[in-house]
Structure 1
Amino acid sequence: MKRIPGILFLIALSVSLNAQPLSTQDQHVVDSIMNANYKPDEPGAVLLIAKAGKPIYRKAFGLSNLEFNVPNKPENIFRIASMTKQFTAVCVLQLAQRGKLNLQDDIKKYLPDYNSHGRRITIEHLLSHTSGIPDFAEKKDFPAQMVLTQSPGELMNFFMNDSLTFEPGTNWGYSNSGYVVAGLIVEKVSGLPLNEYIRENIFAPLDMNHSAIGNYDSLVRNASYGYINAASGKYMPILYMSWSWPYAAGNIISNVDDLLKWDNALYTEKILKKEWTEKAWRSVVLPDGQNANYGFGWTSNNYKGIQFIDHAGGMAGFSSDAIRIPSKQLYMVILSNKPIWTVPVLSSIALQLIHAPRQPINHLTQKALNDYTGVYAISQSFYAKAPGETLYQYFTVRDDTLFAQSPGYPKSVLVNVGKDLFAWAWWKNSYCEFRRDKKGKVISAEFYNEPVQTGPRNVQKKTDLPLPKAKQAVTLAAAKLALFSGKYDFTGGLVLSITTEGDRIYFQMPGQQKEEFFAENETNLFSKATDSTIEFTEDKGKISGMVFKVQGTQYPGKKME
């Protein structure tokens, strides 16, 4: 590793120390947002804000290690998850810049054994999430497989035979799988393992001495531990996942200081020429005219005439996000070891720093809100749907509050902030805007986030389908409920649990909080929070298994003795 000569280090330190901090007002606002989301006795985060390449805010919040009550420090190292994609994209663009490959090349030119199902998939399709390759992390058997170490080739075999979700280049669907294929192409063209290529062509030239490819083979100083929600309502350590799975889609570990070095380098041509970074930050436009709000490894959004370049990351126990605003010379990066999404936090901070006013909250009557109720067909989702699959969103009203419910999720409160415009109560920068026909009848709902949106806006058409009737719970004797209690094997090592406490029954997935279910009849349970149901099966008078249904998909499990 290169070392910075002493005099240069002193100069750099002097510049850093002389950088002007945030104004007192802005610092108070940022502190308030961070303190509201990251408590001193919980997993936390590190936030860095830079102006013109120099830190003006750099603070740590919460705990790095709960077991030993160790606080996070600004220099702590985190898993950055999908922020890795921008590094993989730059690796590909470097090879294109050197004439080693062309973004319009068919991927089979480099991976002749890849099953592209008779379609032409280009390298550009991989980088822009327009390949139609389904995301491996969405496969039913992924939770059971993630503990197994895979070679990159074996990882590719895990998903490549699954049908494409759409014709390449015609739609957008976030795909970790596509970046796995991109990583394999980097290895094929460069002749180096991806980790070595990144180290030699990015980390070493930029003196990113606190960044690496994640592994379990070496100790990492100042590493923050990841935590997930526990059944107790507190936290538990993350479940094991082999580092072989994230690969080119999410396997980098880093800290905020190294990521600032990375961002600063992107203003120069040390890593990539300007024409190629501009390609990466130019949003793809789909054939139907939709703006995908995504380039190559970064989102690209225009918010009130200001360009926001962003990418977030999330994996069990860790969340990350970084926003660059070139016109303001601002860079903001947050790395967290707490199981909450960092995007709403950083978006709120970004809007405060550019002084973008938030819409006032209005109060509509129940009669006015009834206009929006109904069943809406989901036409576009973050992960592309399987061909022929239809999902729905439900809008309901109780008293003077509008609720939205996506398949498999609890109801969310919407607050009115404008004419036919609502914001999610838990994320004020995430919107639902209803559209009306010429007669004033509500016909669709459009979903989007500000100031950064990943993927096209989601337009959902209102259907004539009736809202599902609320299920009525019946009372079953505690002895009857106890017959359901036990562990259920869903194959591949995935085991789900049913427990009872008197006349109450709970369902629990590994690493998640237990959820109370209610009896619909003698063999069926349902969740009041989501649309999940459980149907128990019997064999010779004994409970032999269950069928867990969520988001329209059935998962059979066998009861373990």
Structure 2
Amino acid sequence: MVKPKNLSESDTLNMNYLTKEMEVYLQAHLETGYFIGSVLVAYGGEILLSKGYGMANLEHSIPNAPLTKFRIGSVTKQFTAAAILKLQEQNLLDVNNSVATYIPDYPNGGKITIHQLLTHTSGIPNYTNFDDFESKKTIKMELDELIAYFSHHPLDFQPGEVFKYSNSGYVVLTKIIETVSNKSYADYLQEYIFTPLGMIDSGYDRYETILQNRASGYVSMGEEYKNAQLIDMSLPSGAGALYSTVEDLYKWDCSLNTDIVLNKLSRDAMFSPQIKVIEDDNEQVHYGYGWLLDTIYDRHRISHNGGIDGFSSHFSRFPNEQITIVVLSNLVTSPVEKIGRDLTAIILGESYELPKKREAINLDPAIYENYVGQYKFEPSGSQSEVNDITLTVTTESQRIFIQWVGGPVIEIFPESPTKFFRKIVDAQLTFVTDNQGKASQLIFHQNGRDMILNKIG
């Protein structure tokens, strides 16, 4: 179904109704405390909604707006991928060539290709997962220093074997862009993407730059917010260092139907399913070049999420339906993907639920003992990115807690004898019990998805 650009009166009334429904939905999200940010929704070449919610800066009471600038995290990757494809159009590189062709001294560079960097199949370990990464966040690093930080670690696997998300690969792509173009990464994107598209509110974020309409990033502490930890923007590099606005990202979206930045051959490569990410009984997800490719509501979706200290982002495109959803938030735990999914549901007439602020009830703490233990996710098919997904439930001082492998201990709160929720993010858990009240399964619900974990041991 494709809406024509020249809308009839009935079409206009329907569009107005959709806009009002989306505004009610987003206002409900704002009132939960889980979301602040800016949102743009376009359908059939028409912008239905472009609006800010909550505060861009809480200390100065500056509201979010369509022109508020947010850090977009890993949504940056599609611009890095586009720069690589543009350089290929300029005959300055070939994505099938090895890294060593452009960075001769890179360890294992002779057996890693640019294609593998783009598709997270290089085997280069993800530096943002290193144990000491948190301690380095405020340190400014030159690009070569950042590459030296991870390049001498052994590969996680032989290049091309599997998909494993790695920011490191996109940092190496940044170095290749600078090497073959003889320009800085920021300058190359400015010259070949942002300036041609009139994206005057997008660029490489630097803390020292005075940037008008820049949002401050926050983390949730349950009932209140606090300033996010500082991160020097040299660290995310071409994997996540850009800022933009919802309206600039829509300009970028519109360009992807034209030859202004990339020709059709490059765009087809970007949006082709290059590697499987997930394939099970219920879901198939592929990765292109800087984009995820999947299906929701039986429609083909091209999307990517981003997260960086204090910020969360979601950008999705439905090319067949001409739907574009951009959700940018200055609250790192905002359920941006779920918001994007539900806004799509509103347009397509699919079912969705209004968010609600959850209230804890008084519950006999003895019930918690029925839930204590370990729960493991066992995918029904092949999920190459899934390693050990185990959740541990514990109790202490008449309170109940969960902990994912390698993550912090987090308190959960009861809204019924079997249903619990987190206060900081929009996530719920349901314990499936037997006749004695003992849990055998746990259903974890977040971002519109259910993950079933079976109790082990």
Deviations 1:207-240 (A, max 9, x none): 111111101332111111111235x842222222
Secondary structure of 1:312's aligned partner = strand
What is the rounded CA distance, in whole Å, between the counterparts of 1:394 and 1:219 in structure 2? 45
What residue in structure 2 maps to residue 261 of structure 1?
A: 251
CA contact (8 A) 1:40 1:62 kept: no
What is the rounded CA distance, in whole Å, between the counterparts of 1:242 and 1:384 in structure 2? 30
Shift of 1:26: 2.4
Aligned ranges 1:494-533 → 2 under 5 Å: none
Shift of 1:57: 0.8
Larger Rg: 1
Shift of 1:350: 1.3
Shift of 1:352: 2.3
Q: Call closer, same or farther: CA 1:155–1:328 in 2, change over 3 Å.
A: same
Shift of 1:289: 7.7
What residue in structure 2 maps to residue 274 of structure 1?
A: 264
CA contact (8 A) 1:165 1:384 kept: no
Q: TM-score, normalised by structure 1?
A: 0.64
Q: Which structure's relative contact order is higher, taking Cα pairs within 8 Å and 6+ residues apart?
A: 2
CA contact (8 A) 1:42 1:63 kept: no
Deviations 1:403-453 (A, max 9, x none): 99632364751489xxxx9974443x21336xxxxxxxxxxx7xxxxxxxx
The structure 1 residue matched to 2:347, chosen from 346, 350, 353, is 353
What is the rounded CA distance, in whole Å, between the counterparts of 1:380 and 1:245 in structure 2? 33
What residue in structure 1 maps to residue 295 of structure 2?
A: 302
Shift of 1:137: 1.0
What is the rounded CA distance, in whole Å, between the counterparts of 1:152 and 1:384 in structure 2? 30
The structure 1 residue matched to 2:449, chosen from 422, 430, 435, is 430
Shift of 1:41: 8.5
What is the rounded CA distance, in whole Å, between the counterparts of 2:385 and 2:275 in structure 1? 18
What is the rounded CA distance, in whole Å, between the counterparts of 2:130 and 2:33 in structure 1? 35
What residue in structure 1 maps to residue 273 of structure 2?
A: 283
CA contact (8 A) 1:103 1:124 kept: yes
What is the rounded CA distance, in whole Å, between the counterparts of 1:131 and 1:318 in structure 2? 27
What is the rounded CA distance, in whole Å, between the counterparts of 1:354 and 1:247 in structure 2? 37
Deviations 1:141-176 (A, max 9, x none): 111111111111100011111122222111111111
The letter of the residue matching 2:429 is: V
What residue in structure 1 maps to residue 207 of structure 2?
A: 216
Secondary structure of 1:228's aligned partner = strand
Aligned ranges 1:62-461 → 2 under 5 Å: 62-116=54-108, 120-230=111-221, 233-286=223-276, 292-339=285-332, 340-357=334-351, 375-376=376-377, 392-393=390-391, 406-407=404-405, 408=407, 410=410, 412-414=428-430, 424-427=444-447, 429-432=448-451
Shift of 1:97: 2.0
Shift of 1:39: 3.8
CA contact (8 A) 2:278 2:383 kept: no
How many residues get paired?
A: 397
Q: CA RMSD in A?
A: 3.6
Q: Call closer, same or farther: CA 1:127–1:393 in 2, change over 3 Å.
A: same
What is the rounded CA distance, in whole Å, between the counterparts of 1:65 and 1:44 in structure 2? 11
The structure 2 residue matched to 1:32, chosen from 17, 24, 30, is 24
Shift of 1:277: 1.0
Q: Call closer, same or farther: CA 1:191–1:332 in 2, change over 3 Å.
A: same
Shift of 1:375: 4.1
What residue in structure 2 maps to residue 399 of structure 1?
A: none
What is the rounded CA distance, in whole Å, between the counterparts of 1:286 and 1:70 in structure 2? 43
CA contact (8 A) 1:415 1:425 kept: no
CA contact (8 A) 1:21 1:57 kept: no
CA contact (8 A) 2:277 2:285 kept: no
Answering whether residue 48 of structure 2 is matched by residue 50 of structure 1, we say no
Which structure is higher in helix share?
A: 2
What is the rounded CA distance, in whole Å, between the counterparts of 2:158 and 2:430 in structure 1? 35
Identity of aligned residues (%): 29
The letter of the residue matching 2:345 is: L
The letter of the residue matching 1:31 is: E
Deviations 1:512-534 (A, max 9, x none): xxxxxxxxxxxxxxxxxxxxxxx
Shift of 1:269: 0.8
Shift of 1:303: 3.0
Q: Call closer, same or farther: CA 1:374–1:203 in 2, change over 3 Å.
A: closer
The letter of the residue matching 1:313 is: G
Deviations 1:247-267 (A, max 9, x none): 101111111111111111110
What is the rounded CA distance, in whole Å, between the counterparts of 2:442 and 2:160 in structure 1? 32
Q: TM-score, normalised by structure 2?
A: 0.77
CA contact (8 A) 1:20 1:56 kept: no
Deviates more, 1:333-342 or 1:286-295: 286-295
The letter of the residue matching 2:249 is: L
What is the rounded CA distance, in whole Å, between the counterparts of 1:384 and 1:40 in structure 2? 31
Secondary structure of 1:60's aligned partner = strand
